[in-house]
Amino acid sequence: MSAMDWWRGALIYQIYPRSFADSNGDGIGDLPGITAKLDYVASLGVDAIWISPFFTSPMKDFGYDIADYRDVDPMFGTLEDFKHLLAKAHQLGLKVMIDQVLSHTSDQHHYFLESRQDKSNDKADWYVWADPKPDGTPPNNWLSIFGGGAWQWEPRREQYYLHNFLSSQPDLNFHNLDVQQAMLDNVEFWLKLGVDGLRLDAINFCFHDQQLRDNPAKLPHERDGRGFSNDNPYAYQKHLYNNTQPQNLAFLERLRSLLDRYPNTAALGEISSEDSLATMAEYTEPGRLHMGYSFELLTNDNSAAYIKKTVATFEQRVTQGWPCWSLSNHDVVRVASRWAHGEPSVEQGKQLNALVCSLRGSVCLYQGEELGLTEAQVPFELLQDPYGIAFWPNFKGRDGCRTPMPWDPSQPHAGFSSHTPWLPVDALQKSAAVTKQLADPQSMLRQFQRFSQWRGDQPALKWGDIAFFETPEPLLLFSRSFEGKTLLCGFNLSAAPIDFEPTSVNLGPGALTVVTDHGLASAQLQHGRVQFPPYGVFYAELTR
């Protein structure tokens, strides 16, 4: 692979800055805190960091509501602090990706403050404005992901504006070419500073249907997927018109042309559509995004059949595109709890990190996954997430995966801050703190460091093709092949030992040589059968 392709097969470590490390004792993580922990991040063997939004914001959605795309919110530090972070990361060999939230702004952004004043100002058409129906109701039936209608009345214009998320996050009108250029200019500001990549939030939400057609209803059995349960009315519609419009493809090509002027940069798009795998394939075609990821593995289904179907479906649909897989992020319940069979298991956590790092594609690893952190329990009175507050108690929001990183259990607030944190440190997570695991050679953290180092020396795992085999539950079995070398990868997804005979699948001619230097609970090949321990893994070179 050329130097241009650093992102292909990369391990990308996601940092949620509010909860990573607090350097100034105000209870909120910041950029200098991240800089101080970059040596630790580099020790994980990852290739890049992705930093969630740190831009100027009223923080109604914790930075995903941007009021100034070109500056750092004082809560997180200064622009100079970011430059120091960037320099330190590059010194350690880490690429730096930043979140870009292009589809909407904060209602405090000067674009919107001007646009909302009247229908004739210079930015009057920069947002999605629409007249009410004759009876004064919103122009159509579109819904907000965060609950309720997606239209908010503005009395100064006597019109509604669209918000796919919070009402304080008005949607930009990307049908306006001036809006497109302004957002590209904002992106280029950071490219000029030397960032290596962009994570594009909700990138398929940039365009809306100009005819404002109603979304059709879903039948009850269709109301599932992508984290929207039946208690959220958003699940009741097929979202055909409020996002994922064909005009977005041309904008992605404009964005890619900009990135191509800055060698060694890459774009990763977050995609949530009615058919996210198809959209991923379409958005990662040549000349568009370098990578795409969806919520398909951020669900509750962790069966071997589901994982196989998800990855294989993308492989069938993609031409030359490249996926990025993740099992956790800042929006979903941590996988150690979500995919636990009864009680969370350290061995399962080790296996899941290995599994996602063995799929064809790049990987986003959310902070704390290397520690096996489980979902934190946050009482209602301490909730911060407006999504969780609105849907309590059926849905408790996203705070449980956003609690502070536990660094040292002997320090106040587990070493995250000297001040009471913005979210409480989970008491159970202290037992998985960084210093405690660094001191234990058999810990999940130490194992992940060994595994990521081993993976970095396996071209087949980083860049190889993938092929799945027909196996019964709970066994997931696939091969990765690159330049004539094939690695067989097997995962027992259950808490019980299983026995498997390789001759039951069509591996073709050749001999298996078991690989054991990856530091995991390895299956054994004895008398022609593979014996998997609970949550065991199996890597073997297939020599033809």
> Is residue 375 annotated as a catalytic residue, yes or no?
no
Find out whether 188 and 126 touch, Cβ atoms under 8 Å: no
Q: 421-449 burial string, b = 16+ CB within 10 Å, else e?
A: bbbbbbeebbebbbebbeeeeebbbbbbb
Q: What's the CA gap between 162 and 150, in Å, rounded?
A: 6
Tell me which DSSP letter residue 172 carries: B
Q: What's the CA gap between 422 and 379, in Å, rounded?
A: 13
Check 65, 270, 399, 426 and give the catalytic one.
270
Check 201, 375, 385, 399 and give the catalytic one.
201
- What is the residue-wise DSSP string for 12-76? EEEE-GGGT--SSSSSS--HHHHHHTHHHHHHTT-SEEEEPP-EE---TTTTSS-SEEEEE-TTT
Q: What's the CA gap between 366 and 353, in Å, rounded?
A: 11
Q: What's the CA gap between 511 and 323, in Å, rounded?
A: 30
Length, in residues, of the chain? 544
In Å, how far from its chain's centre is CA 101? 13
Q: What's the CA gap between 82 and 193, in Å, rounded?
A: 10
- Helices 248-260 and 177-193 sit at what angle, rounded to 10 degrees? 30
| CA dihedral for 362, 365, 370, 373, sign (positive or negative) | negative
Tell me which DSSP letter residue 423 carries: S
- What is the residue-wise DSSP string for 70-118? EEE-TTT--HHHHHHHHHHHHHTT-EEEEEE--SB--TTSHHHHHHTT-
> Is residue 270 annotated as a catalytic residue, yes or no?
yes
Q: What's the CA gap between 215 and 401, in Å, rounded?
A: 32
Q: What's the CA gap between 344 and 335, in Å, rounded?
A: 9
Other C-beta atoms lying within 10 Å of the C-beta of residue 394: 9
Positions marked catalytic: 201, 270
